[in-house]
Amino acid sequence: MKKSIISFFIITFIITITSSFIITGCNNTTTINTIATSNEKITIIKGNEIAFTKSNGNDDIYIIHPDGSNEMRLTDNKANDSDPSWSPDGTKIAFRTNRDGSNEIYVMNSDGSNEMRLTNNKVSDSYPSWSPDGTKIAFTSDHDGNNEIYVMNSDGSNNVRLTNNSANDSYSSWSPDGTKIAFTSDRDGNNEIYVMNSDGSNNVRLTNNSPNDADPSWSPDGTKIAFTSDHDGNNEIYVMNSDGSNGMNLTKNSARDADPSWSPDGTKIAFKTNRDGIDEIYVMNSDGSKNVRLTNNKVKDYSPAWY
């Protein structure tokens, strides 16, 4: 009897330790969220999911693994759903949709269930970006006649305008510590990357080129910003230090590359490219090496967002 009890506790201990190792991973950074649906449970593993937009007659949100497997459709309606942004815990995805007649920000569970409208305006609200602590969502709105950066609580309440000028400000990206927001602005005549404090103060220009620089994406460690630039005559993925120094072309080809999104560990960047004749999702190492195609469709895939 004693041997049976001892054996039971030993087996329980081994299972507990093994499960903990699988969930946390070797580097103690992997988190797992299991979402129950009506038919099955979907496991969302940090670093192992990329949300993106597929344009097949209309735009819808999909997710895919970073090796190109397990593609799954999340939204399914006659409207256009695009520009996904993950909540920091991986349980929700914010996105843009025109299902109510104008572009609005919605949020849904990361399995596609429980869609909820956050903004309710007769103007265009787009490009949501979740804050690192999960309490706020930055977005672009032309509520005041031109595109500006706004922020709201993650439940849609307390909309606050952050930028205030006659130019177009859009494509916001939070710094990992939540203190700053990078964004695109044409206030100096062409699109450039700016950064401001998360309350809208202290706007600082990071890029200063005659070409267009847009779509900033902050690296997980906060030291770099990836962005899209047509500095070489066509859109390419660039990376620079977070102070704007040391800009470097990563993709270097004649195709159109855009929409960079970092992997959670900072070693890879997902992006869209038309190098195969139509927009597809690719992944490359963060130094620009080893470009790998993830999607292979006869329709456009774009706006990847890595969780």
Tell me how many domains the chain contains.
1
**SS3 label, residue 11:** helix
Domain hosting residue 262, numbered range: 46-306
Domain membership of residue 223 (yes or no) is yes
Per-residue pLDDT tens over the stretch 251-306: 999 999 999 999 999 999 999 999 999 999 999 999 999 999 999 988 999 999 99
Q: Are 169 and 193 in contact (CB under 8 A)?
A: no
Per-residue pLDDT tens over the stretch 261-270: 999 999 999 9
Domain membership of residue 302 (yes or no) is yes
Domain membership of residue 34 (yes or no) is no
Alpha carbon of 127 to those of 26, 103, 104, 137, 215: distances in Å? Answer: 34, 10, 10, 10, 10
Alpha carbon dihedral 263, 131, 85, 303, in 10-degree steps, equals -60
The CA distance from 86 to 101, in Å, is: 24
138: CATH: 2.120.10.30
The CA distance from 33 to 118, in Å, is: 23
Domain membership of residue 123 (yes or no) is yes
Domain membership of residue 39 (yes or no) is no
How large is the average pLDDT for residues 125-145? 96
Domain membership of residue 27 (yes or no) is no
- For the cut 50, the answer to whether the pLDDT of residue 4 exceeds it is no
Residue 203 amino acid letter: N
Which two structure tokens, joined as six digits, stand for 299? 């329709």
The CA distance from 42 to 65, in Å, is: 13
**Of the candidates 286, 290, 292, 287, the residue with the CA atom closest to the CA atom of residue 273:** 292
- For residue 37, what pLDDT is reported? 41
Domain membership of residue 60 (yes or no) is yes
Domain membership of residue 208 (yes or no) is yes
